[in-house]
Structure formats: structure tokens, C-alpha cells
Amino acid sequence: MSKTISLSGLGAITPEKNGKGVSFEFWADDPDGQVVEPMRASGTAQLMRSGSFFFVPGKPRMRANSTLLRKAAHGRLSATKDEAYQLTLKIFKREGLDVKATLMREAMELINNVRF
């Protein structure tokens, strides 16, 4: 169970030069208090018009869990850490290809030219 800790201090909001965001800094009144464990996290920050600030850490970034077995023009065949095979194909509409034929051809090439 987590415990909420209240801190007092000074916060500063600095708008970014491009006008698309802000940076936020906080200086505690008692910097030697060692009230919280240091942390670094990505997440969602919400700054309200009143100056209230909320931050919710996001989920940890998932690292690649696969090993490339064979590459194709539009995708890849991989072996995953959970002992599965994964076929990924991606064709952009702007390429003007026959999607069905391209997917079938590349999938068959990957399947037929890899050693399982």
C-alpha cells in the first residue's frame, strides 16, 4: 500500500520556446529531509489553471522480446522469448501495391526460407 507524503516548497513553471510545453521544477523547503526515494519516470503530468500539478508515472517501457529469424521487404519473422513465432508485415497504402498478393508472397517467402 502506498503512502501519500506532503511536501512544502517552491515550484517553478517555465514555458518552452516553441510554446508547446512547459518544464516544472520543485525545490523542497527542507532539501536534506530525505522524505522520499529519488525516482525518474516517464508518465503523464497535468498542470491545472490554478497551478495544481499532478504526475502519474507510466508503465515501464517494454524491451524487445524477440530474435530476428528472417527479414523481408515489408516485415520480419521472429522468435519470441515466450517461445513463439511472430510474423510482422506492414505495407503502406501509398506504395500502391497489390496488398493481398504482396502479403501472401512475403509471408510464404519468410516461412519457406527459415530454419525452425
- Is residue 90 very low, low, confident or very high in pLDDT (cuts 50, 70, 90)? very high
Percent of the chain surpassing pLDDT 90: 41
Yes or no: say if 54 and 72 are a contact pair by the CB < 8 Å rule.
Answer: no
Tens of pLDDT along 46-76?
988 888 888 898 988 777 789 999 999 999 9
How many other CB atoms are there within 10 angstroms of residue 104's CB atom? 12
Section 74-79 average pLDDT: 95
